[in-house]
Every structure is written in structure tokens, then in C-alpha cells.
């Protein structure tokens, strides 16, 4: 491959990405955001000036109301996602051409394992195109990818040098060379269900004419992986958190016909829709979250599917914290981009953005300080020999917020087949408090290094770990998992009755 090839690819990549006004590349505030900020500051200032004694109760009441609303929303999604949908659409006789994209960077350790897993996908080889997207400077991973025993449909694609050095930029570099009608994105550590592509093709075929642009497969976390620096506490909480999101929240929102932030992997797209909205935002470090709402603003709909992708948790705090920092930084970028002109989302889209991205940022920021305040109140009261003050509103927020989070995790974990018991519930507040550490770090990084990509280290799974969740067990779980959604439900533009 010559340097001219890379330069041509760089020019091709420039065709994609949203306009700067709709991208995280622009870091300023829009006119609407300036007006909204000034109005909020003016309202708070006027309240402090005219009735300073009422300011604190008003702020507390508003915050409590917001958290109670989020709690009720979680419970609603648990209920809605449990309702049975129509049967899975029939298999497609004439399968469309499918492209698999995997962006890799410093993944020498796992590229061979990834290739083995991709080779097991059940789809006609003559209808498949696969691209392992590598950075031009990453010579060790390029060498490992070229040395791996790849199936004939899986190619090595080297992206040209350029900035920012992010996963979405790498995906945009490959997008002009995609030949499939449908496309999916996987990560280096993924093990997708062998039949996932066939299910997606069937759902897209059944949803023809419904403006269905993307299907999100559930991501499930293996517990108890060996051969790495594991952290049982973080691993189990991480698995339950994923189960809550992918088994209750996203299916519930899809059932209600609302947009949602996509997961970073196992998104299945119609290529024409993906190209129509400009591909990925290279400057957003959670390009998946942004893309879900950008598709919605262009009139497309999102859905979910049942065949999962298995992943391993990040590991100890040294690996978990940078990953969570990047996620929250990207959510801050996504919130900033889509509130510049929120009317483009419509009322329903704005509500979905607030209850996902906004609620996540608010919870992550306040969990740690709130739990610290509760702990301090209890300790001070205990040392003074007095019962702690328990205002009804504060107690309601604490109890209902924790209960809704536990319920969502417990139901999601049961559906995903991952462990989540009473001890995990007791330990959960400590995990929630760690989110605040990541949130404050993310805010600082957004100011200093907005486009820096905090790379998560992926490790090859030890052979012994396969015994913990053997392939046969995966198959049994997948076959018995309830098919809660059909393509028609997933694409429904209005709440399903």
C-alpha cells in the first residue's frame, strides 16, 4: 500500500461527519444556549435577591422532583420492556450484502482472538465484507492482523494519518469503501452471537418502509474472566449496569418509539441512512450516543434485537476510570451538541435526550456528594446520640431512587443471565459514588483535552475462562431469551398501545 492510497482515503473520509454546527468540534454555545443560560441565571439571581430564604427549598424541591421523575421512568421502562412483542420476523431468503467494521488501535494482544470470533459468524461468505480498520502508525497491530488466519471476506484496512485520532474518524475513513447494504460495528473484545447478522437482516426486511435505520443488539458482560487483573466488585456492578441498560432501558424506549444513545458496538445500520446523516462525528468520544439522536433528527427510527454480543468488563479501577471518564465526557459533548437547537429533536426526542444523557450526567455528578452528605448526617447524629433528621422528601428520593436502580439492574441481570444478588445491591452505592469521581474528571478533561480518546486496554481471554460461560450456555441463554420486540414495534414512531 502506497502513501497515495492513504491520502486518497483521507480525502474520502472528509466527505463524512456532521456540519461543524452540529458537531462536537465546535465548542461554543449557540444563541439558544446563551439565552437559556442567561434566563436560568437571571431567575436564580432574582430569587436570591427577592426571597433568599426560599432559594434553598426551591432548589431542593426541583432536584427532588427531577430524581423522582427519573425513578418513575426507570420503573416504567422495566414494565414496558417486559411486555411480549410479536414473533421474530421470518428468515430472509435473499440475504443482503453485509459489512462488518472493527476499529482497532494497540490491539496486538486480542486481534487473533477477534478474527477467530468473527470467522464463526453464520452468514454467507459471498455476502460478507469485513474491514479491520487500523491506524497507519500502529505497526504491531497491523502485523498481527496480517498474520492472523482471516477468512477471505475479512480485509485489513489502514486509515490515513490525521486528527483527531478517534474511533469515529477511523470508521469514517472506511465508510466510503463499504459495499454492504447493511453494516455493523464491533469492538476488539467482542464475541457476537453467530446468528446476529441474520436476525438484523430479517428485522430490517420486516421493517421496510418504517424509516428503521439502526438496530442495537444487547451487550452482555461475562463475569469471572481470568487471565487479567480482575476486580470482582467492579466487574459485577459493570455487568449489572449493562444489563439494566440493554435489557430494560433501551428495549423499553424502542417499544415507546423514542430515540436513545446507541451502544459503542453491535449497532446494525442501513448504510444509506448512515451515509445520509453524515456517518459518525469524529470529534465526539461517544460517537454512538450522538449518532442515535442525530438519526432521529433526520426522521429515522431506532430499534433493538435479541441476539447478544458478549464482552469482558474493563477490569480494575485503573482501567474502569478512564473508560467511564471518556463515556461521561462524550455524554457532555452529546448534550451540548443536541441542546444547541433542541427543537430539532421534537418534544419526544428532547424528553428522551433528557432522560438518558441528561439523567446520566446529573446522577453521575450528584451520586457521590449526595451519598457523602447522607453518610455524614448519619455519623454526626450517631456521635451526638440523636436520631438523624429524615425529611419526607429527602427520604423518598433516597429510597425510591435506590429501589428503582436496584429493580432495573435485578430485572436486567435476570434477563441477561448475569449474577446480581443482595450483596451486589448493598455494594451498589459505592459503585454509584465512583461515577462522581469519573464525572468530575470528565468535566476537567472536556475543558483541557476535549477530543482525547482514553483507550481501554483489552486482554485476550484465557482458555480456562471459556468454561465459565461456554458457547453452549450462550446458545441456551439466547434461545430462551424472551423475544420482547419485533421489528414493527422497534420501529414504531408512536407509543405502542
Give the pLDDT confidence score for residue 66 in this predicted structure.
87
Give the pLDDT confidence score for residue 223 in this predicted structure.
65
Burial class (CB within 10 angstroms; exposed 0-12, middle 13-18, buried 19+) of 454 = middle
**Structural Rg of the chain based on CA atoms:** 23
Q: Which three cell numbers stand for residue 448?
A: 483541557
- Residue in the structure block whose three cell numbers are 452529546: 334
Give the pLDDT confidence score for residue 415 in this predicted structure.
93
Q: Strand pairing partners for 130?
A: 100, 154
Give the pLDDT confidence score for residue 9 in this predicted structure.
60
Task: Quickly list DSSP for 396-448.
Answer: HHHHHHHHHHHHHHHHHHHHHT----HHHHHHHHHHHHHHHHHHHHHHHHHHH
How many whole angstroms separate alpha carbon 430 and alpha carbon 454? Answer: 23
CB atoms within 10 A of CB 25: 19
Per-residue pLDDT of the chain (497 residues), as tens digits, is: 444 455 566 566 567 889 998 999 998 899 999 999 999 999 888 888 888 877 777 877 888 888 889 999 999 999 999 876 545 777 777 899 999 999 999 999 999 999 999 999 999 999 999 999 999 999 999 999 999 999 999 999 999 999 899 999 999 999 999 999 999 999 999 999 999 999 999 999 987 667 999 999 999 998 655 445 678 899 999 999 999 999 999 999 999 999 999 998 999 999 999 999 999 999 999 999 999 999 999 999 999 999 999 998 888 898 999 999 999 999 999 999 999 999 999 999 999 999 999 999 999 998 888 888 878 877 888 888 777 666 777 777 888 888 999 999 999 999 999 999 999 999 999 999 999 999 999 999 999 998 988 777 767 776 544 434 444 444 444 444 444 333 333 333 333 32
- Residues near 124 by Cβ (< 8 Å), separated by ≥ 6? 95
Give the pLDDT confidence score for residue 347 in this predicted structure.
96
- Residues near 447 by Cβ (< 8 Å), separated by ≥ 6? none
Q: Which of 189, 201, 216, 181 is CA-nearest to residue 92?
A: 201
CA geometry: angle 202, 208, 213, nearest 5 deg = 85
Amino acid at each position: 500500500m502506497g502513501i497515495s492510497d492513504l491520502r486518497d482515503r483521507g480525502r474520502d473520509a472528509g466527505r463524512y461527519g456532521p456540519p461543524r454546527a452540529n458537531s462536537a468540534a465546535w465548542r461554543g454555545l449557540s444563541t439558544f444556549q446563551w439565552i437559556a443560560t442567561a434566563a436560568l441565571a437571571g431567575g436564580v439571581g432574582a430569587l436570591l435577591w427577592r426571597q433568599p430564604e426560599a432559594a434553598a427549598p426551591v432548589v431542593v424541591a426541583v432536584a427532588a422532583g427531577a430524581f423522582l421523575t427519573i425513578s418513575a421512568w426507570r420503573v416504567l421502562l422495566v414494565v414496558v420492556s417486559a411486555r411480549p412483542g410479536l414473533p421474530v420476523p421470518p428468515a430472509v431468503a435473499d440475504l443482503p450484502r453485509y459489512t462488518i467494521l472493527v476499529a482497532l488501535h494497540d490491539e496486538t494482544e486480542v486481534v487473533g482472538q477477534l478474527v477467530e470470533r468473527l470467522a464463526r459468524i453464520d452468514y454467507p461468505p459471498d455476502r460478507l465484507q469485513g474491514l479491520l480498520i487500523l491506524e497507519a502508525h500502529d505497526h504491531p497491530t497491523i502485523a498481527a492482523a496480517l498474520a492472523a488466519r482471516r477468512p477471505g471476506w475479512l480485509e485489513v484496512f489502514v486509515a490515513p494519518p490525521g486528527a483527531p485520532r478517534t474511533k469515529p474518524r477511523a470508521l469514517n475513513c472506511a465508510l466510503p469503501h463499504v459495499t454492504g447494504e447493511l453494516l455493523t460495528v464491533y469492538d476488539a473484545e467482542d464475541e457476537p452471537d453467530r446468528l446476529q447478522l441474520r436476525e438484523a437482516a430479517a428485522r430490517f426486511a420486516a421493517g421496510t418502509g418504517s424509516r428503521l435505520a439502526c438496530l442495537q443488539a444487547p451487550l452482555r458482560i461475562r463475569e469471572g474472566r481470568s487471565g487479567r487483573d480482575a476486580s470482582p466488585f467492579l466487574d459485577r456492578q459493570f455487568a449489572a449496569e449493562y444489563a439494566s441498560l440493554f435489557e430494560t432501558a433501551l428495549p423499553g424506549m424502542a417499544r415507546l418509539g423514542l430515540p436513545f444513545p446507541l451502544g459503542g458496538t453491535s449497532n446494525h445500520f442501513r448504510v444509506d441512512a448512515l451515509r445520509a446523516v453524515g456517518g459518525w462525528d469524529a470529534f465526539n468520544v461517544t460517537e454512538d450516543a450522538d449518532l442515535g439522536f442525530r438519526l432521529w433528527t433526520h426522521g429515522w427510527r431506532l430499534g433493538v434485537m435479541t441476539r447478544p454480543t458478549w464482552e469482558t468488563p474493563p477490569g480494575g479501577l485503573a482501567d474502569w476510570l478512564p473508560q467511564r471518564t471518556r463515556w461521561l465526557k462524550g455524554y457532555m459533548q452529546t448534550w451540548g451538541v443536541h441542546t444547541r437547537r433542541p427543537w430539532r429533536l421534537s418534544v419526544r426526542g428532547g424528553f428522551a435526550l433528557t432522560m438518558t444523557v441528561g439523567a446520566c450526567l446529573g446522577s453521575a455528578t450528584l451520586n457521590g456528594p449526595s451519598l457523602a452528605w447522607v453518610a455524614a448526617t448519619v455519623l454526626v447524629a450517631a456521635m451526638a446520640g440523636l436520631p438523624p433528621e429524615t425529611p419526607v422528601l429527602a427520604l423518598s428520593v433516597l429510597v425510591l431512587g435506590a429501589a428503582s436502580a436496584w429493580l432495573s439492574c435485578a430485572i436486567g441481570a435476570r434477563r441477561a443471565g448475569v449474577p446480581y444478588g443482595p450483596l451486589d445491591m448493598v455494594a451498589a452505592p459505592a459503585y454509584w459514588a465512583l461515577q462522581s469521581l469519573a464525572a468530575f474528571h470528565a468535566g476537567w478533561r472536556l475543558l483541557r483535552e476535549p477530543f482525547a480518546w482514553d483507550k481501554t486496554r483489552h486482554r485476550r481471554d484465557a482458555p480456562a475462562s471459556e468454561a465459565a460461560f461456554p458457547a453452549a450456555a450462550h446458545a441456551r441463554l439466547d434461545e430462551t431469551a424472551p423475544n420482547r420486540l419485533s421489528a414493527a414495534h422497534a420501529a414504531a414512531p408512536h407509543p405502542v398501545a
